[in-house]
A and B are shown apart, each in its own frame.
Chain A
Amino acid sequence: MGGKGIKIEGMKKRYGEGDTAAYALKDVDMDVAPGEVVGLIGPSGSGKSTLLKCLGAVIDPTEGRMMLGDEVIFDNGWKVKDLCALRRDKIGFVFQAPYLIPFLNVLDNVALLPMLAGLHNDEAREKAMELLTALDVQHRADAMPSRLSGGEQQRVAIARGLVNRPPVILADEPTAPLDSKRAMAVVRILNEMALKLQTAIIVVTHDEKIIPTFKRIYHIRDGVTHEEVGEGRSYK
């Protein structure tokens, strides 16, 4: 499924009407290629979360255009009818906290998405196991989430985000609860997976440790994005 990237042009999000109207996003342009990991940074209230919710098809942008690969999914209105299926099949999520489902074991936490997509349980578990192996947590497949360390939980959460091979992953502060070593490990995994699965990954972060690892960063201020390309940027 991966290998399409995401492109956003002139995205706006307005709350309220008339005199009370306020724009949380005024002009957002982004273009993330398949296999690329970009950072999205900005101060509190700059519109990061609103942008993430728009990209995640959780709230409706007011204007703009959004493309996943060649498919226009938003053009001043959603072009896909089933946003639930869109989120399930084409957008992966990695959260600040892993938010694993506490009553499912590690394998089923990851296999749940392909199951929801209609895959047979055995096939879904096989697919999930592949990713757990790639992320080196296959030995914890039968464990319940509460038995995992923070780093292991985050790797399982990444596996869940990637399991349906979505063209784009939205990662909301994925390293916030982790120490430097584990944070860098998560960044390394995201970069490896982006390359391996040709997935575009947008990482919203405040974490100064990992900011230098992005080759491209989008700054967002007052609802407007500014791209910054740093030659020296590379993940370690």
Chain B
Amino acid sequence: MISLGSCDILHSWGKFIFTGFGLGLLIGVTLVMAGVYRGMVDDGRILLDNSGAELWVVQNGTLGPYAEPSSVYDDEYRTTMSMPGVDRAANITYLTMQVAKGKNDVRVMVVGIAPGTLGITPGWPPFLAAGRQVTRNHYEAVADIASGFKLGDQIKIRRNHYTVVGLSRRMVSSNGDPMIFIPLKDAQEAQFLKDNDAIWQGRRRDGAGDEAIGTTPSSNHYVNAILVRVVPGYSQDQVADSIRRWQRLTVYTRAQMEDILVGKMIAASAKQIGMFLVILAIVSAAIVAFIIYTLTMDKIREIAVLKLIGTRNRVIAAMIMQQALALGVIGFVVGKITATFAAPAFPKYVLLIPIDSLSGFVAVMLICVLASLVAIRMALKVDPAEAIGG
């Protein structure tokens, strides 16, 4: 049996291609939205992976350095080191700020890393795309490639200038901000250090004038967290319990930290994106339904003739459904291509994974089937008598 739907599509291919292209752009946006969510989750996981930690020791009662402000004395790591089952412990600070890059600012997360050795000390970027790790105690930085800085560039953080000696890749915060690694002491200082004007204004406000010189704190003994690596063979939960009991600090395992990042921090964004996906799905369904309905309306006389000459309802329904599915396939192909090429242009990491594409394809097909039902219902109602005059 000849496929009436295919023949109609070939006959009016221009209409289908252009409609499919429009639908495809909408599907492309939907796929990118899903990719943005996946990218956020991936950023969160990579942040945890790249930290090289198995436990996060943070201020008691807080959710840790990524979700809430957390301050821990910087000598606590020594006590942590002495806990049974602790292999390595290292202080770390995180500070999200704008840094100047040429005439523009770039939002980065400044990470203060403790002195140590690559591969042993937690917190260090595990691999570099270019250059070397920070080896001096001051004024050197490793910047993520996404920040746009190059080897040898100078970065001004607060009052100090740092030379970029290495470039990392995919080292980003859970918000997707590229990281800049600097020595821990510099980072501790940067967390409270004010510029000269701010210090002067502060003194004036306090009414202390020049007598206040020397009272402004010049050092900071806090870090945001202690990253811990556990001796192989020890249970992470047991080690975490010991630290909680003896140091009176909150400790999170990798699974708990991932839950905080993905389940709490990204949850609101995920819901937001979910709402967009629902709206886009409804809009897509409405567009397909409208187009298929219009195409069917244009063929009322032909459908009446087909019914009069003995075409069964299922053949007519199949013809309409084939058109809706063809529109969906065209739309999906255009959407997938659009999303693939557009993804790198987005400021945030967009992760397109095959399962999302597959789910998207199934969803598009389902939407097309549902959208065609209105037109099919109308076509089945067409009276074959309409083909006979009078």
Contact = CB atoms under 8 A, between A and B. Distances in A.
A223 interface: no
Contacts of B205: none
13 contacts: A49-B388, A56-B388, A87-B309, A95-B389, A99-B302, A101-B306, A104-B2, A108-B2, A108-B7, A113-B309, A115-B1, A116-B309, A117-B310
A93 B387 contact: yes
A234 interface: no
Contacts of B8: 103
Contacts of B308: 56, 58, 87, 93
Interface in A157-194: 160, 172-173
A89 interface: yes
A173 B390 CA distance: 11
Interface in B302-322: 302, 305-312, 315
Nearest to B385: A58
A52 interface: yes
A117 B310 CA distance: 9
Given A58-B384, A101-B302, 15 more contacts: A48-B390, A53-B385, A85-B310, A87-B308, A87-B309, A93-B309, A95-B389, A99-B302, A99-B387, A103-B7, A112-B311, A113-B310, A116-B1, A116-B312, A144-B11
A121 interface: yes
Contacts of B390: 48-50, 52, 172
A115 B306 contact: no
A112 B3 CA distance: 10
Contacts of A50: 390
B301 interface: yes
> How large, as a class, is the contact surface on chain A?
20 to 34
Nearest to B7: A103
A219 interface: no
A49 B315 contact: no
B10 interface: yes
Interface residues of B, number: 26
Nearest to B386: A58
Given A96-B389, A121-B2, A173-B389, A84 B312 contact: yes
A160 B306 CA distance: 12
Interface string B359-387: 00000000000000000000000011101
Interface in A51-110: 52-53, 56, 58-59, 84-89, 93, 95-96, 99, 101-104, 108
Contacts of A115: 1-2
B309 A53 contact: no
A88 B310 contact: yes
B215 interface: no
A86 B315 CA distance: 17
Contacts of B302: 99, 101-102
A53 B385 CA distance: 7
Given A56-B308, A112-B2, A116-B310, A102 B388 contact: no
B12 interface: yes
B292 to A, nearest CB: 15
> Closest 7 CB pairs between A and B?
A88-B310, A49-B390, A103-B11, A103-B8, A87-B310, A58-B385, A99-B305
A175 to B, nearest CB: 13
A89 B311 CA distance: 11
Contacts of B389: 49, 95-96, 172-173
A142 to B, nearest CB: 13
Q: Among A93, A101, A144, A173, which residue has the most Cβ atoms of chain B within 10 A? A: A101
Q: Among B10, B306, B309, which residue has the most Cβ atoms of chain A within 10 A? A: B309
B388 to A, nearest CB: 6
B303 to A, nearest CB: 10
Contact of B311 (A96, A99, A116): A116
Q: Among A52, A103, A116, which residue has the most Cβ atoms of chain B within 10 A? A: A103
A84 B388 contact: no
